[in-house]
Amino acid sequence: MLERIIVGAGCFWGVEAAFGSLAGIVQTQTGYAGGWIAQPSYEDVCAGSTGHAEVVELHVDPAIISFNELLTHFWAMLEPPASPDPQYRAIIICSNAAQLELALASKLAQPQLVDYFVEFGLDLPFYPAEEYHQQCYRKWRDRFERRSKAV
């Protein structure tokens, strides 16, 4: 049975690409969560009027990748100092209390992130992003690779 978790750690394009490349991640979908407006648009989120973060919904096969392994990848993705832009904040939204307990304990075990604020939530609403924000790395891989080689 698949598990679901929602994570945010900056621009959802990069987060989706990073997690989507892991064995055991069956499906990814970019979207918005953690705010107070239903069905926000990208423009609304960018304007800062919704409270939402850019996030990625992950459907995970726990027989292939454990929740703790997934968290290890999440912590490695964070680069203090955190972005001051709330749409890019670090956030973990768990589907159940057991996941939340593991996520909180895992954060406490990250001494390098002691001063890094991470928002935790339980079963908060997820709103899918517009289609043009889905699977961007896969759609535009050439553009991403050209940029990384140019730097």
Cα 104 to Cα 45, 76, 81, 115, 119, distances in angstroms: 26, 16, 20, 14, 10
| Active-site residue identified among 11, 46, 94, 136 | 11
Strands (E), 1-151: 3-9, 25-33, 53-60, 90-94, 119-122, 126-128
What is the C-alpha separation between 40 and 144, in angstroms, rounded?
A: 27
User: Tokens 């895992």 identify what position?
Assistant: 106
Active site residue 94: no
**Could you give the CA distance from residue 51 to residue 124 in angstroms, rounded to a whole number?**
13
Pair 74, 32: CB distance under 8 Å = no
- Residue at token pair 């140019």: 150
Q: Which residues are the active-site residues?
A: 11
